[in-house]
Amino acid sequence: MAKGPLNDDQLQEYQANGFVLVRRMFDEEEAGLLRRAAKEDRELDQHSYGRGDGEGGTVRLSLWNHPGDTLYGMFARSESIVNSAEKLLGGEVYHYHSRRIMKDPKVGGAWTWHQDYGYWYQNGVLFPLLCSAFIAVDPATRENGCMQVIRGSHELGRIDHVLTGEQAGADMERVREVLKRQELVYVEMDPGDTLFFHCNLLHRSDQNHSDRPRWSMICCYNAARNDPYKESHHPRYTPLHKVPDAAIQETGLRRVADGHTDVFWLEAARTRLAEVEAELGAARTEQEDYTYLANVFGPDEIQLCEIQAAGPEVSSLVNALLEGCFDNKFEIRFRTQRPKADGKGMVDDFDIEVRNKNLDRTCLVDELSGGQFVLVNEAVNLGIAIYNMRQGEGIQYETLFRDETVGALDAANGKEYVRMLRRAMDLGGFHQVIFICHTPLVWELADNILSVGGGCVVTGDGEAASTEPRSAARQ
């Protein structure tokens, strides 16, 4: 008869290593019943399916969610197994699922490095409060692909998993580094031996190149307090009715086909999973549509749309301001798209192109010389200011204020700048323009001067300035 639940020493071993191996957990008769039932069970075979390992091999397995009252159910519900799981997880558990792993001689595939929680995390299970009981049906050796574990790797937490063949495997860069520090253990087992292991324990197995099969049954348990927050292809909390260990022999060879409980085969769950994946695909498409709309109507794109809408009028205003400057040789254009680097299509962008009409040459605004850049940039700012003023219906702006221009202006460019301001007065319908200037050659071109200093504001004739607005100012 089964040995009974784990003792305190075995619990400490599990907590330290992430696994504990119990030799002869089930006696020879119990192990023999399980082996005979598994090998002769046509119903279980009909529900098996293959899982490619990415190396040319295939692992066959059957999986069911509820234990039922067959011989397999008696093992999964036996007090020795369930009480051990409850001791490991610190409270009530329920049957998460069971599976039969069939590594057939010569063709049995490998399992890549993985953590069970790497899969189960996606099922809405919040905490890694799960464990598995791996019961050997056949002898498990290095030759026929016994399980390999990394001692203490359950302490790593969940590692990212990626698809390898038809299996999801742990990030191999990280696994290689773990193997430099932690011990690799080959878990060789005899029929009836049982390995309890943590859901975050890194484990794998090689292909079966031997002449002997390596079959096993694995019972997985979740803590009742760790009930998943969403539905998945494995069950949420379902009360588990334990049975005495003696029920294994009493049940004898009653197999799945003879049982009275719906074991909810994975085939049905996989059908539902396919439906959910189709729904998820539709949801992803819808999400992509909304993401596209969010980008299109996001702040950057809305600004770009506004620039495209305002561009013709603003550029017309800027070019009108530039007509009296530089002998009317410059005109600008707002560019909102540019060719992609590969030449295939266009990409959204913004820049100001400046065309020299005399030379029929175009460059970007920041490629102009210092004085030219200052004046063209100021023309753009003035054009935008006038455009914005015109959007305010019924509002009359009397005065245009300009801060000091960027960079020093020589006499020639200073003259162009004041001419541009006078043109801005006409285009905007302003009564006056007040601009700040530190360059005598420029402020002398103004109609009037306001000097600011010593806590006073005086006009060019030395009198204190009145509150009546003037047309120019200096500091």
pLDDT digits (tens, 9 = 90+) for 377-434: 888 888 888 888 888 777 778 888 887 664 556 777 778 888 888 888 888 888 888 8
Residues 259, 388 share a domain? no
Rounded-to-integer distance, Cα 149 and Cα 160, Å: 18
Residues 260, 304 share a domain? no
Residue at a domain's end among 264, 289, 313 = 264
pLDDT confidence tier of residue 436, bands split at 50, 70 and 90: confident
Residues 219, 310 share a domain? no
Q: Say if 58 falls within a structural domain.
A: yes
Residues 249, 305 share a domain? no
Q: Which amino acid is at 466?
A: S
Residues 229, 126 share a domain? yes
Residues 305, 182 share a domain? no
Q: What is the mean pLDDT of the chain?
A: 83
> What digits encode the pLDDT tens for the residues 111-143?
889 999 998 999 999 999 999 999 999 999 999
Comparison of pLDDT for 474 and 398, the residue scoring more:
398
Q: Say if 191 falls within a structural domain.
A: yes
> What digits encode the pLDDT tens for the residues 276-286?
666 777 777 77
Number of domains into which the chain is organized: 2
Residues 309, 242 share a domain? no
Range from 83-87, 163-167, 291-295 that averages highest in pLDDT: 83-87
Q: Say if 143 falls within a structural domain.
A: yes
Q: Say if 147 falls within a structural domain.
A: yes
Main-chain dihedrals φ then ψ at residue 328, nearest 5 degrees: 60, 40
Q: Say if 277 falls within a structural domain.
A: no
pTM as predicted: 0.57
Residues 321, 387 share a domain? yes
Q: Answer yes or no: is pLDDT of 347 > 80.
A: no
Rounded-to-integer distance, Cα 221 and Cα 137, Å: 19
Q: Say if 469 falls within a structural domain.
A: no
Residues 358, 258 share a domain? no
Q: Answer yes or no: is pLDDT of 469 > 50.
A: no
> What digits encode the pLDDT tens for the residues 79-112?
999 999 999 999 999 999 999 999 888 877 888 8
Residues 368, 250 share a domain? no
Q: Say if 12 falls within a structural domain.
A: yes
Do the beta carbons of residue 179 and residue 153 sit within 8 Å? no
In terms of Cα–Cα distance, which of 329, 332, 318 is closest to 420?
318
What is the pLDDT at residue 9? 97
> What digits encode the pLDDT tens for the residues 61-84?
888 999 999 899 999 999 999 999
- What is the extent of the structural domain holding 392? 300-459
Q: Compute the Cα dihedral for 160, 163, 168, 174 and give only its sign.
A: negative
CATH number at residue 355: 3.40.50.300
Residues 304, 184 share a domain? no
pLDDT confidence tier of residue 146, bands split at 50, 70 and 90: very high
pLDDT confidence tier of residue 210, bands split at 50, 70 and 90: very high
What is the pLDDT at residue 184? 98
Whole-number percent of the chain with pLDDT over 90: 40
CATH number at residue 222: 2.60.120.620
Residues 316, 256 share a domain? no
What is the pLDDT at residue 193? 97
Q: What is the mean pLDDT of residues 312-330?
A: 82
